[in-house]
Structure 1
Amino acid sequence: MRAVRLNRGLLKVVDLPAPRPGAGQLLVEVKRCGICGSDLHCRLHADELADSLDLCGYPRYLRSDQDVVLGHEIFGEVVDRGPWCKGTIRSGTPVVTVPLVRRGRQVDGVGLSASAPGGFAESVVVQESLTLPVPNGLPADLAALTEPMAVAWHAVNRGEVARRDVAIVLGCGPVGLAVVSVLKARGVGTVIASDYSAGRRALAMQCGADAVVDPSVESPWESAGDRHGFMTTMPDEYNAGIDAIEGLSRLPVPWWTAWRALESIGLTRPKRPVVFECVGVPGMLDGILAAAPLHARVVVAGVCMGPDTIRPSLAVNKELDLRFAIGYTPLEFRNTLHALADGTLNAAPLVTGRVGLTGVANAFTALADPEVHAKILVDPALETEEIVIK
């Protein structure tokens, strides 16, 4: 079997023994596998990631000196199954999968562990219980987006975004574009996307963003705050409180009685945006704490690979709500797949190219240029080192 192996930052096409599914597992012929930002990080920062996950109780994340087949955004067809499978997914069925495999009670991330080779290969072993048939004849390029779109689906859930909320997406790489798409699929009325890259701002518009901002020219905070009445300074809030008391004091009941009544129906709740940090570079988070309006809810979906410094006093004094997001639940994965299949979720703009196994290294290099590509899919059937532009 041909596969792309990573070792010490080098990607190389190699011949490996064909994988065999174990108990409760399926063998899938890979038709597409997306290149994720996590894959790019693994090439350069595998040991830092492994150290972090070791502290989280998972000591089997890939290390730079190990031979690893990357790739966890998998779409393919079932070709075989191991013992003790239910057999409800027949051979030839097109499927996507939550990229985890289990042996006993040991769980490994497919494509993110030396013990679980991934989808940059002709075949891959997946867990039957985590594998879903692809409905409605969903095209391969879109089916392969199920996993990364599920990450965005989960991030939006973490943000608890209501339709009337204003969402600000910082960074329009694949994660940010996916978040924009999910927000619009969920009916959020105002989505503002910010990125330095003109190409990615254009993709954000294709994904449904209501406005795009070049942060070198215009502040996304001013763009949102000027139109939606967010409080940007502490005196703004103090004055609002004093104004409210003075106004309510004109009523024939104590001001605190009127305040309680308004509070019970949500009218005293401050207006605030829901912010999605999708960049993941040092300094980004502290910059958000400094610039965001008071009471903003911040969902961190970008993975910062190095140590970072924030000023907690900024978040305290502004009463910011800071949340972090990773992965998704099996139900979120399933819901994402069906939203793609029924056309509710528009993810097509994310795919900018395809490449064969021999071109994976070239694709990793190309993804460093934000003006050209967002998501490149690996197609093992393609016999070319060149990236096929979609």
Structure 2
Amino acid sequence: MRAVVCQNSELRVEEIPDPKPAKGHLVLDVVRAGICGSDLHARFHADPVADAAANIGFTNMMRLSQAVVMGHEFSGRVREFGPGTKRRIDEGAAVVALPIVRIDGRPEFLGLSKDAPGAYAERVLVDEALTFPVPNGLSPETAALTEPLAVAYHAVRKAKIGRNETAVVIGCGPIGLAVILMLRARGVRHIIASDYSAVRRGLAVRCGAHVVVDPAADSPWTSFADSKYFTDAGKLLHFALGSIEKLRTVPFLPWSKALRAAEATGKTPTGPVVFECVGVPGILDHILASAPLYTRVVVVGVCMERDAIVPITALTKEIALQFVFAYDPGEFYDTLQLLADGKVDPTPLVTSTVDLDGVPGAFDTLGKADEQAKILVAP
């Protein structure tokens, strides 16, 4: 079969052996595959990623010197059943699958391991237990976005953001746009999105952002100066002292218990929830320096390089820092249902489609241009 092979940062279309299903495997004909930002990073930074993965027990992640077929966002049709499969899904059925497959009893990240070729190919091997039928006649283009949208769904769930809180999305690439979609699905009523690209800002509006900001001309942080959030510690202290002073004038009401009751009902100062969706050095430090006090920062962007922050900045603002990664199988399935039920419309994300021969050029375009969001591959 034909596939796009990455080795030493070069992408080329080659003939490789067809996948052979072992126990519990399915072979799918790939209908659509999405080019992910993590694939763009892995093309040039696979070795440090593999080193980091090895520290937590994944010792077989792709290396630059290895020939790897990437692609972990996809939809397909069932072509072949391996031995011992339950065959709960019919041959030819439209499906999506989590990008994890057991090879010789060892779980591998599909598309990020030389032993688990991914979906930039005509066919792909998946684990039957992690494969789901596509419901409600969902298009293969939309179904292929289940995986990246599950990443966003997981990030928004981890944030525990309320409908009346403010969300700030820094970076409106595919993951930032997916986060906006999931925030709207959650019912968040104030979403600020920031990106240098006019095209991506337009896509952010289509995905549901209420305010979009060009950071070259304005700042996503200026609106907080006169908001319910505190950007000045002196004003916060003035507010706190004034509140205690008022509480202590109320007879028969212990002011300390009243303060704890206010905390329990959400009446004490809080901050917005910021989603970092850029993943380049310096962004995190900028957010810590610029965001209001008590901000919750959810790091979704994948930074492949060393970065530096000033911890005292985050400490004095009591900023909460949460790193998120991927999703669990339940979140993947829930995301598929949200798409199938029409509760999330990801069509603004897809800006073009290429065949296998167009993948190397698409990688180059996504790596240096800001007019694209999600490029799909149609093998």
Band the TM-score falls in, shorter-chain normalisation: over 0.9
**Counterpart secondary structure, 1:368:** helix
- Could you tell me whether the CA contact under 8 Å between 2:46 and 2:62 is conserved in 1? yes
Alignment deviations for residues 303-345 of structure 1 (CA, whole Å, 9 cap, x no partner):
1111111111111111111000110010100010111111101
Unaligned stretches of 5+ residues in structure 2: none
Structure-to-structure mapping, 1:200-219, within 5 angstroms: 200-219=200-219
Cα 1:227/1:123, change in 2 over 3 Å: farther
Range 361-370 or range 109-118, more displaced: 361-370
**Is there any run of 5+ residues in structure 1 with no aligned partner, and where?**
381-390
Partners of 2:2 and 2:14 within 8 A in 1: yes
Is it true that 1:260 corresponds to 2:250 in the alignment?
no
Q: In 2, distance between residues paired with 1:283 and 1:44?
A: 20
Take 1:163 and 1:282, find their aligned partners in 2: how far apart are those partners?
A: 31
Amino acid at match of 1:240: F
Structure 1 residues 116 and 264: CA distance shift in structure 2, 3 A: closer
Partner of 1:388 in structure 2?
none
Q: Distance in 1 between matches of 2:41 and 2:262?
A: 49
Query: CA offset at residue 265 of structure 1?
Result: 2.7
Distance verdict in 2 for CA 1:11–1:260, change over 3 Å? closer
RMSD over aligned Cα, in angstroms?
1.2
Offset at residue 368 of structure 1 (A): 2.6
Counterpart secondary structure, 1:116: coil
Contact 1:173 1:370 in 2 (8 A): no
Q: Indicate whether 1:312 and 2:311 are aligned.
A: yes
Q: C-alpha displacement at 1:104, in angstroms? A: 4.8
Matches of 2:4 and 2:73, distance apart in 1: 15
- Residue type matched to 2:303 in 1? C
- How far is 1:239 from its partner? 0.8
- Report how many residues are paired: 378
Q: Do structure 1's residue 321 and structure 2's residue 320 form an aligned pair? A: yes
Instruction: Please give the secondary structure, in 1, of the residue aligned with 2:101.
Output: strand
Residue matched to 1:334: 333
Distance (whole Å) between structure 2 residues aligned to residue 347 and residue 232 of structure 1: 34
Contact 2:103–2:115 (8 Å) recurs in 1: no
Percent identity at matched positions?
51
Greater shift after overlay, 47-56 or 19-28?
47-56
Q: CA deviation at 1:371?
A: 3.3
Task: Provide closer, same or farther for how the CA distance between residues 355 and 227 of structure 1 changes in structure 2, counting only shifts above 3 A.
Answer: farther
Structure 2 counterpart SS, 1:3: strand
| Map of 1:239 onto structure 2 | 238
Consecutive aligned runs of 4 or more in structure 1 exceeding 6 Å deviation = none
1:347-358 correspondence to structure 2 within 5 Å: 347-358=346-357
Verify the 8 A CA contact 1:200 1:370 in the aligned structure 2. no
Aligned to 1:172: 172
Amino acid at match of 1:232: T
Q: Return the offset for 1:22.
A: 1.0
Aligned equivalents of 2:22, 2:293: Cα separation in 1: 53
Secondary structure of the structure 1 residue equivalent to 2:151: helix
- TM-score norm. by structure 1 comes to 0.95
Counterpart CA distance in 2 for 1:293 and 1:280 is 21
Letter in 2 for 1:366: T
1:69 aligns with 2:55: no
Q: 1:248 to 1:359 in 2, by over 3 A?
A: same
Match of 2:277 in 1: 278
Q: C-alpha offsets along residues 253-303 of structure 1, whole Å, 9 cap, x if unaligned?
A: 3432432343343322x1310000000111111111111110000000001
1:297 to 1:232, Cα distance in 2 relative to 1, 3 A: same
Cross-structure match for 1:141: 141
Q: For 2:57 and 2:286, locate their aligned partners in 1 and report how far apart those are by CA, in whole Å.
A: 31
Q: Does the Cα contact within 8 Å between 2:197 and 2:371 map onto a contact in 1?
A: no
Q: 1:287 to 1:14 in 2, by over 3 A?
A: same
TM-score using structure 2 length:
0.97
**Equivalent residues of 1:18, 1:123 under 8 A apart:** yes
Give the corresponding residue for 1:222.
222
